[in-house]
């Protein structure tokens, strides 16, 4: 009898503890954290893959303006000329994804697979990858050859694109 009473007492205590307002507070905190994460997810921008036709619409229509640079975008941009098999390109990709989030709404970041879009690679004389084209809203673009770390990207963005 004492054993049954003890088990009933322990079970009741555990049940009341599990259903206490403290647990509801933790649940509410978890819901708030989940809501914050969803807001951050909505802000996540990604690097956009460009085909030749998309390049003409979003960056420059080189058929209409073969002799001069006429930027079609409404924000400064970076274009990463890369290849899927390139080690330094693979190292650069996550940095560009991070920068796309950091500078969401301030600049666009695109990528062009040089094996798939050979016309674009030839148009810009891409011979080494990664090659990065920094395009200010006004003025001529600047090409950077070779991988960069995040600090180098941020310095280039501030000095070239967001002056």
What mean pLDDT comes out for the span 105-114? 97
Q: How far is CA 22 from CA 16, 19, 29, 36, 114, in A?
A: 11, 8, 11, 21, 57
- For 106, the token pair is 């301030």
What mean pLDDT comes out for the span 109-135? 96
Active site positions, annotated: 86, 89
- For 31, the token pair is 């819901």
**pLDDT per residue over 134-148, tens digit each?**
999 999 999 999 999
pLDDT bracket for residue 1 (50, 70, 90): low
pLDDT bracket for residue 2 (50, 70, 90): low
The answer to whether residue 109 scores a pLDDT higher than 90 is: yes
Residue of 4 and 151 predicted with greater confidence:
151
- ∠ CA 89-94-96, nearest 5°, is 85
Whole-angstrom Cα distance, residue 152 to residue 142?
A: 14
Other beta carbons within 10 angstroms of residue 39's beta carbon come to 8
Contacts of 47 (CB under 8 A, 6+ apart): 80, 93, 96, 97, 100, 109, 110, 111
The answer to whether residue 132 scores a pLDDT higher than 60 is: yes
**pLDDT per residue over 10-61, tens digit each?**
444 444 444 444 444 444 544 444 444 444 444 567 899 999 999 999 999 9
């Amino acid at each position: 009898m004492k054993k049954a009473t003890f088990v009933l007492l322990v079970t009741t205590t555990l049940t009341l503890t599990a259903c206490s307002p403290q647990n509801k507070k933790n649940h509410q905190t978890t819901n708030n954290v989940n809501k914050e994460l969803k807001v951050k997810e909505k802000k996540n921008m990604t690097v956009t893959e460009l085909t030749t036709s998309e390049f003409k619409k979003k960056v420059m229509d080189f058929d209409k303006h073969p002799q001069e640079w006429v930027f079609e975008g409404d924000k400064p941009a970076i274009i990463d000329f890369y290849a899927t098999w390139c080690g330094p390109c693979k190292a650069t990709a996550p940095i560009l994804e991070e920068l796309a989030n950091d500078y969401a709404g301030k600049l666009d970041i695109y990528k062009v697979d040089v094996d798939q879009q050979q016309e674009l690679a030839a148009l810009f004389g891409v011979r080494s990858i990664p090659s990065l084209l920094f395009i200010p809203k006004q003025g001529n673009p600047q090409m950077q050859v070779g991988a960069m770390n995040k600090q180098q990207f941020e310095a280039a963005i501030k000095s070239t694109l967001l002056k």
